[in-house]
């Protein structure tokens, strides 16, 4: 097995169970590494730290699977981790038949995402090393879930960075073009093969429910970057008055319209537009809303993208604050680890200063519990939302 020694000082984070070794932190190899192979990680003096898999071509060169000298990475270990992830999800009593079964590092299966949509499963292998265990993952999912179908999704960013070999494909059984899932008393269509990510943003389940608690009746609600309509439909179901959903994708809006009809609702106005342009136009017209939801896609794929991303957030927030009524609520979200909660709070402060608004924090929301985060692995906390009341 390939032996890897890390530079002095790197062992401290690994002993705290942080599972990444960056390429620049590697001191030496016992031989030339092969992409995807299992490695033993040792400190600079040669003491054992853990087992993992390696991709020497990428920045995060090693992802650890075990910190126990007696627990080597094997198909049996992967199977055991999958079963533990499943038992954890069963304990949550999630109010939905759709949930995240495996959340990569947070389930100690780095490079693997598994989402369940009723009787169908979507999987993503985001690292070369985890692709090596694809057969084990599929066989174990069949054993655990007895699904009707398993579909492999491809993250194009990961494919490019890691040099992944897979293509989007059916791995088992059959997967229909559309699946209907239940969330509380709402239903949503999910197109697993064609949908964004693995099909739907399950991580916002608790935020969608929190929005419903804010609706007293008749509110004017704006859902920006509405995707398949989750926030807009939740607001309408709770008794909101005029509800507008905005997205640049006509395919997303068509799905949102179908979801509205599926829930026996009507009257939501769906607008195909660039979010920045739409908010600017609404401000220019003097429009005002009781609740404004701004849930953009990831603006920061890496640390270098953060400054530009924060400028984008500020523009969205300045426009959003201008069109939120005094006493109204604005919510802003980040789904990138690189845009932290502190970033959101600081850019909110900047936008409040520019618009001369006073903001009272009403709530913070995070990814739901089926997307767990590990304290020692900060990267597993990626979704943050701040809900503020505009006091004017």
Q: Same structural domain for residues 300 and 386?
A: yes
Q: Same structural domain for residues 89 and 141?
A: yes
User: Per-residue pLDDT for the chain (392 aa), expressed as one digit of tens each?
Assistant: 999 999 999 999 999 999 999 999 999 999 999 999 999 999 999 999 999 999 999 999 999 999 999 999 999 999 999 999 999 999 999 999 999 999 999 999 999 999 999 999 999 999 999 999 999 999 999 999 999 999 999 988 888 888 888 789 999 999 998 999 999 999 999 999 987 655 679 999 999 999 999 999 999 999 999 999 999 999 999 999 999 999 999 999 999 999 999 999 999 999 999 999 999 999 999 999 999 999 998 887 788 889 899 999 999 999 999 999 999 999 999 999 899 999 999 999 999 999 999 999 999 999 999 999 999 999 999 999 999 999 97
Q: Same structural domain for residues 103 and 38?
A: no
Q: Is residue 387 within a helix (H) or strand (E), and if so which, with residue range?
A: strand 384-390
Q: Which two tokens stand for residue 47?
A: 């003491």
Q: Same structural domain for residues 143 and 81?
A: yes
Q: Same structural domain for residues 210 and 168?
A: no
Q: Same structural domain for residues 217 and 332?
A: yes
Q: Which of 19, 43, 66 is the last residue of a domain?
A: 66
Domain range for residue 41?
2-66
Q: Which of 47, 66, 85 is the last residue of a domain?
A: 66
Tallying the residues shown for the chain, one arrives at 392
Q: Same structural domain for residues 232 and 276?
A: yes
Q: Same structural domain for residues 40 and 138?
A: no
Domain contains 94: yes
Domain contains 327: yes
Q: Same structural domain for residues 211 and 233?
A: yes
Domain contains 193: no
Of 121, 335, 348, 359, the active-site residue reads 335
Number of structural domains the chain divides into? 3
Domain contains 311: yes
Domain contains 183: no
- Rounded to whole angstroms, how far apart are CA atoms 6 and 278? 51
Q: Same structural domain for residues 276 and 376?
A: yes
- Told to judge if 335 belongs to the known catalytic residues of this protein, a careful annotator would answer yes
Q: Same structural domain for residues 6 and 81?
A: no
Q: What's the CATH code of the domain at 56? A: 2.30.130.10
Measuring CA to CA, which residue among 158, 152, 208 is closest to residue 185? 208
Domain contains 196: no
- Rounded to whole angstroms, how far apart are CA atoms 141 and 82? 8
Q: Which of 45, 66, 87 is the last residue of a domain?
A: 66
Domain contains 186: no
pLDDT of residue 196: 60
pLDDT of residue 199: 60
pLDDT of residue 206: 97
CA angle 50, 55, 60 (to 5 degrees): 75
Q: What's the CATH code of the domain at 80? A: 3.30.750.80
Q: What's the CATH code of the domain at 344? A: 3.40.50.150
- Rounded to whole angstroms, how far apart are CA atoms 17 and 2? 21
Q: Same structural domain for residues 211 and 339?
A: yes
CA angle 351, 367, 193 (to 5 degrees): 110
170, 192 Cβ separation under 8 angstroms: no
Q: Is 264 helix (H, G, I), strand (E, B) or coil?
A: coil
Domain contains 182: no
Number of CB atoms found within 10 A of residue 84's CB: 13
């Amino acid at each position: 097995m390939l032996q890897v020694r890390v530079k002095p000082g790197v062992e401290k984070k690994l002993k705290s169970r942080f599972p990444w070794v960056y390429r620049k932190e590697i001191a030496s190899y016992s031989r030339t590494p092969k992409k995807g192979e299992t490695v033993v990680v040792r400190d600079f003096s040669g003491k054992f730290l853990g087992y993992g898999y390696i991709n020497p071509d990428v920045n995060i060169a090693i992802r650890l699977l075990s910190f126990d000298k007696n627990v080597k990475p094997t198909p049996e270990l992967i199977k055991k981790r999958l079963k533990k992830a499943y038992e954890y999800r069963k304990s949550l009593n999630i109010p939905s038949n759709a949930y995240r079964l495996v959340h990569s590092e947070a389930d100690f299966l780095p490079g693997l995402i598994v989402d369940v949509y009723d009787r169908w499963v979507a999987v993503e292998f985001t690292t070369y090393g985890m692709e090596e265990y694809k057969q084990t993952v599929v066989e174990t999912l069949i054993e655990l879930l007895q699904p009707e179908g398993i579909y492999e999704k491809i993250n194009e960013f990961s494919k490019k960075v890691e040099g992944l070999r897979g293509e989007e494909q059916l791995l088992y059984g059959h997967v229909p073009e559309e699946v209907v899932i239940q969330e509380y008393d709402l239903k949503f269509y999910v197109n697993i093969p064609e949908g964004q990510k693995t099909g739907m943003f399950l991580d916002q389940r608790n935020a969608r429910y929190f929005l419903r608690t804010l609706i007293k009746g008749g509110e004017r609600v704006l859902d920006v970057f509405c995707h398949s309509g989750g926030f807009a439909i939740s607001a309408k179901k709770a008794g909101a008055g005029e509800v507008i959903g905005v997205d640049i994708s006509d395919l997303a809006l068509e799905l949102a319209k179908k979801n509205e009809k599926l829930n026996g609702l009507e009257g939501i106005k769906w607008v195909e537009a660039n979010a920045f342009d739409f908010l600017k136009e609404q401000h220019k017209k003097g429009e005002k809303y009781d609740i404004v939801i701004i849930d953009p896609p990831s603006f920061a794929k890496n640390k270098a993208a953060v400054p530009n991303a924060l400028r984008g957030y500020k523009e969205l927030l300045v426009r959003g604050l201008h069109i939120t009524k005094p006493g109204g609520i604005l919510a802003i979200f980040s789904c990138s680890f690189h845009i932290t909660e502190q970033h959101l709070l600081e850019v909110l402060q900047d936008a409040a200063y520019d618009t001369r608004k006073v903001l009272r924090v009403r709530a913070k929301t995070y990814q739901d519990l089926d997307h767990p985060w590990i304290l020692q692995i900060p990267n597993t906390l990626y979704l943050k939302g701040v809900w503020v009341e505009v006091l004017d």
